[in-house]
Structures are given as C-alpha cells and as structure tokens.
Structure 1
Amino acid sequence: MISTLIRTNHTYIYAFLRVVAALIVLPYGLQKLLGWSSSPNFGPRGIASSLAQITAKKIPKSVAWLVIIVQSFGSIALLAGFLGRIAASGLFLVFAGALIVHLPDGWTQNWFGSKKGEGIEYFVLLLAVLMVIALKGSGALSIDGWLTR
C-alpha cells in the first residue's frame, strides 16, 4: 500500500506544480504556526491568534489545529516531495474548506477593498494544482521518486 502512495511519474511538470503549490501554502502555514508576517495588520500572529481567528468562523478548535498542522507540515512535505499524494490530499481538504468559507464573498478577490472578504478564484486554482499532485504524485526531484527508484 505504501508503494501505491509514493508511486510517482518522474516528470518535471509534476515537480514544478508540487514546488509551486508548496511555496504558495508554506507562508500561510508558517504564519499560523510561528506568527511570521511582514505586516502587523496582516493575519494572525502565532498559534493562539490563529486558533482564535479560525474558531471565530464557527470552526471547531480541533479542526483549527488540523488546519495549522496540515498547512505547515503538509507544505514542507510537499516541498520535499515526501508522501506528496498524502500531503496534497490533506492540503486539498483544508483549502476546499477555505473555499466553502469564502464562497459567500463571490468569485474574485477583494482587489479594491469593496467587499467584506476574499473570493474563491485563488482557491479554485490551488485546488486544481493540488488535485494533480494527489493523482499523479510528487514527480521528479522528490523523496517519493528517490524511494521508488
């Protein structure tokens, strides 16, 4: 079963998509986990603030913890290409939830500050990339690829 999970096509396009997805998600995870942010007005500052922000949206605290863990460690695993299918699937679930939370805000992001929240266009694109990785694997230059050779 583990060989099925780490099996991958050794092409560079999947590696490219994997690294891009990881680099997109990693700042979200580290911001929630460690409080990394370039601006004091941008997002939560560490785990306590992240938990408060997520649970304020009526999301259970246990799910909020899973979001923080999956975004942080899932993006690192994705970057390394270690259990890429599992990492991409976990991140897919997290961002599918984010899409549902942001669905009332419409399709486009809040470019002009005229809406209450952000739209879902970003999440749709990220979900498509994560789905490819979950289905095809980590690709070239990955720990999964190294383990299956």
Structure 2
Amino acid sequence: MLQQLLQTTPDYIWTLLRITAGVIIFPYGMQKLMGWYDGPGFKGALVQLTDRKIPMVVAYMIILGQSLGSIALLIGFAGRAAAVGHFIIFTGAMMTHVKDGWMLNWFGKKNGEGIEYFVLLLVILLVIIIKGSGALSVDLWLSQL
C-alpha cells in the first residue's frame, strides 16, 4: 500500500503542478501556524476557526494540514496524501464562499470572494492525487529504492 501511495513517474508536468500547489498553499498554512503574512498565528487561527463552529480537532487538522502539507507538496513527500488533505480543506473553504458566486471580489463590490480560485486549486490537487508527485520528489526517490 505504501508503494502505491508513493508511486509516481519522473514527469515534470506533475512536478510543476505539485510545486505550484505547494507555493499557493504555503502562505495560508504559515499565516495560521506562525502568524506570517499578517496572519493570526496558531492561537488566533484556532479562535477564528472555532468561532465558525469548526470543531477544535478539525481546526488543528486544518492548521497542521495547510502548513505541513504544503511543505510536503513542495518536497514531494507523500504528495498524494498531502493533496487529499488539501482537497478536503479547500473543498470546505469553497463551500463557505459559494454564496459569493463564481468570480473573486476584483472590484470590492461583494461581501466575499467567489469560488473560481478554489476550483482551479482543486483541479490541480486532483491531478496530484491521480498522478503523484512527479520528478524531483521524495516520493519518486523512495519508490525507486
């Protein structure tokens, strides 16, 4: 089973998508975990998430999933598992934004952001789930041992 989880091909297309997803998600995780990028930090993120009626255990999983999972994507370690975790997290995020329509709030006339960004990220994550981490990944190195 571990072999199937790590299995990937040395394809640079999957590498590009994996690294792109990791770069996109990394700031979200660091906002919540470390308070970087004007984020609330760990305690503040827990308060924000639990104020939205998200159970404490799930809030911890979101914070750790986004921060450690983005690093896992960047290095290509357990890329499929990291992508599945992010797929769940960002599906939940998309559901909170679906009321705001499709497009992002480009002109500041809406109360929130649309879902176009989430759809794009979810498709990228789905490709990683299906194809794996690609070239230049810990997964590829481990699967060749």
TM-score (norm 1): 0.93
Q: How far off is 1:56 after superposition? A: 2.2
Aligned to 1:27: 27
- Distance (Å, rounded) in 2 between the aligned partners of 1:55 and 1:112: 30
- Paired amino acid for 1:130: L
CA displacement, residues 23-44 of structure 1 (integer Å, 9 cap, x when unaligned)? 000000001000001x5xxxx4
- Distance (Å, rounded) in 2 between the aligned partners of 1:115 and 1:9: 43
CA RMSD of aligned residues (A): 1.0
Aligned to 1:84: 79
- Distance (Å, rounded) in 2 between the aligned partners of 1:58 and 1:103: 18
- Distance (Å, rounded) in 1 between the aligned partners of 2:63 and 2:114: 21
Consecutive unaligned residues in structure 1, runs of 5 or more: none
Consecutive unaligned residues in structure 2, runs of 5 or more: none
Structure 2 SS opposite 1:92: helix
- What is the total number of aligned residue pairs between the two structures? 144
Aligned to 1:50: 45
- Distance (Å, rounded) in 1 between the aligned partners of 2:8 and 2:68: 20
Which 4+ runs in 1 deviate beyond 6 A?
none
- Distance (Å, rounded) in 1 between the aligned partners of 2:63 and 2:138: 23
Q: How does 1:1-149 map to 2 (within 5 A)?
A: 1-37=1-37, 39=38, 44-149=39-144
Q: How far off is 1:129 after superposition? A: 0.1
- Distance (Å, rounded) in 1 between the aligned partners of 2:141 and 2:7: 10
- Paired amino acid for 1:5: L
- Paired amino acid for 1:128: V
Percent of matched pairs sharing the same residue? 55
- Distance (Å, rounded) in 2 between the aligned partners of 1:56 and 1:113: 25
TM-score (norm 2): 0.96
Structure 2 SS opposite 1:82: coil
